[in-house]
Chain A
């Protein structure tokens, strides 16, 4: 009963927190758009469906590109791609970061030294450069591959942060009690340490989610995105490539950038909001 009421209390504070409300609203709007959007339009994102250079109208809600592709259709499909990258890339980065961080922090000694050395090496290699090299070598690139690459390169800071958290949790006496109860390391990490970091892990995932989306946009923008299909980054690349701004095609240039800014912004809002929810000291009474 108490646990439920604590959870309820958290929910209460979460919904009362302004930053959380703003963040959740914006984020939900885009998620709904990504889910429902493709059903609202009858077009395919890459099809040439209408006249080029067409500003927004009843037929083409966000106008068309130079070649007559529907911008709204591209945007909603692009959003789907972005959320996919966020979920998969962010997810992979979070999971690797957690595993490395937990083991380095909990086991200590040599294991810690080796894992942290790997982490630090990954940390100093400029991620974007690495991404460019890997992406350039792949003849065929799909959104799946892109997500995996992003996930495999984004984990180091998560590993370091999780390690630090684990180190501090490790000194708590219930971990000692678990050890003298004969529990093995994996069980202690999974059952005693990780659950106590749930709020933190959740926040890490949100940040990784946003980070993965941004990385994907960056890759796509410099032309190393998926070789087929559409994404927000590709839309931005195309818009720049065909001088959308100079030609006054604001309907092509602005929506993808605005959407990404709002999504990533809402994630950061949620993140700081959650900080206040989970940390009673930051709560406004």
Chain B
């Protein structure tokens, strides 16, 4: 696998009056070229923070340590000014509430022109390509002269996808983009995203969602986060067939599937809740909810390489 995104020991905290919230606490991983990496975890596990930190550190998000390399070049995520060179051109994002991300007072054409000018280009020089892509996502040319509110939710979603991939970024961060959609729209959006990738509009996708069954459809590997830490990462098929970490295992077995009825087979959730990230517990952060807990778990679990490209952070395998 040719590594094209490498994140080393990244720590991103939120500064609050009561101290630091350790949202991303020492996460390292690699992502291959032309890969779709799925990031899963419960809400508040730091997956969105991880994705957002790769493009823009908005206060109170604070860079603590760690390095990021994209296509062999270091990405200075701690330097807002230097990041301008990467933002949008090489790393782009479809934010969580993308539908509301468009400025309502500007026509889409003007909006795109502003954005392109911000990054040293303009609408004119991209017109042909924009029209081609609009056609691909089944949007008429006339939307360019409309205001964002004139578009339906689905149209806005497609528009945002076109806008955020216009500069053919190397890395696209998709933050919970399908979570609010119903199943048929969800499928259509994902199909479109994969089509964009196969046409080379984006090289790799960092796909954040809490829904593992969606990741099964789109991701080549899955990274599971829990309370700011990476707990397991492996290829999609492997992680779904034989999850190693107790958390991953419980998360997957809690998913309802067609064909399973309450009366026939009762599924179980994970008891308890994630720990507060302001003062996370010592050692393994999952220990309070883990059925396999033992005394060793009070120490920081090591990251174990089970096989090539399958890592897990648990004392069970150390």
Whole-angstrom CA separation of A9 from B59 in the bound complex: 18
Tell me how far the C-beta of B5 lies from the nearest C-beta in chain A, rounded to whole angstroms: 29
Does B107 touch A at the CB level, under 8 Å? no
Tell me how far the C-beta of B312 lies from the nearest C-beta in chain A, rounded to whole angstroms: 36
Whole-angstrom CA separation of A12 from B60 in the bound complex: 17
Does A1 touch B at the CB level, under 8 Å? no
Does B15 touch A at the CB level, under 8 Å? yes
Tell me how far the C-beta of A278 lies from the nearest C-beta in chain B, rounded to whole angstroms: 16
CB proximity to A under 8 Å, residues B54-74 = 59-60
**B15 is contacted by which of A9, A12, A285 (Cβ under 8 Å)?**
A285
Chain B hits for A12, CB < 8 A: 17
Q: Which of B17, B59, B60 has the most CB of A within 10 A?
A: B17
Residue of B at shortest CB range from A280? Answer: B60
Chain B hits for A285, CB < 8 A: 15, 59-60
- From DSSP, what is the main secondary structure of chain A's interface residues? helix
Binary interface profile of B, 5-21, with partner A (CB < 8 Å = 1, else 0)?
00000000001010000
CB proximity to B under 8 Å, residues A1-43 = 9, 12
Whole-angstrom CA separation of A125 from B305 in the bound complex: 78
Number of interface residues of A (CB under 8 A): 3
Binary interface profile of A, 102-137, with partner B (CB < 8 Å = 1, else 0)?
000000000000000000000000000000000000
Whole-angstrom CA separation of A98 from B17 in the bound complex: 34
Chain B hits for A9, CB < 8 A: 17
CB proximity to A under 8 Å, residues B14-42 = 15, 17
Tell me how far the C-beta of A17 lies from the nearest C-beta in chain B, rounded to whole angstroms: 14
Tell me how far the C-beta of B250 lies from the nearest C-beta in chain A, rounded to whole angstroms: 30
Binary interface profile of A, 242-285, with partner B (CB < 8 Å = 1, else 0)?
00000000000000000000000000000000000000000001
Tell me how far the C-beta of A208 lies from the nearest C-beta in chain B, rounded to whole angstroms: 30
Binary interface profile of B, 259-295, with partner A (CB < 8 Å = 1, else 0)?
0000000000000000000000000000000000000
Whole-angstrom CA separation of A9 from B18 in the bound complex: 10
Whole-angstrom CA separation of A12 from B17 in the bound complex: 10
Tell me how far the C-beta of B161 lies from the nearest C-beta in chain A, rounded to whole angstroms: 26
Whole-angstrom CA separation of A12 from B18 in the bound complex: 12
Chain A hits for B59, CB < 8 A: 285
Whole-angstrom CA separation of A9 from B60 in the bound complex: 15
Whole-angstrom CA separation of A285 from B17 in the bound complex: 10
Whole-angstrom CA separation of A12 from B16 in the bound complex: 13
Tell me how far the C-beta of B50 lies from the nearest C-beta in chain A, rounded to whole angstroms: 21
Residue of A at shortest CB range from B62? Answer: A285
Chain A hits for B60, CB < 8 A: 285
Tell me how far the C-beta of A167 lies from the nearest C-beta in chain B, rounded to whole angstroms: 18
Whole-angstrom CA separation of A267 from B22 in the bound complex: 40
Task: Give the B-binding residues of A (Cβ under 8 A).
Answer: 9, 12, 285
User: 5 pairs across A/B with beta carbons < 8 Å?
Assistant: A9-B17, A12-B17, A285-B15, A285-B59, A285-B60
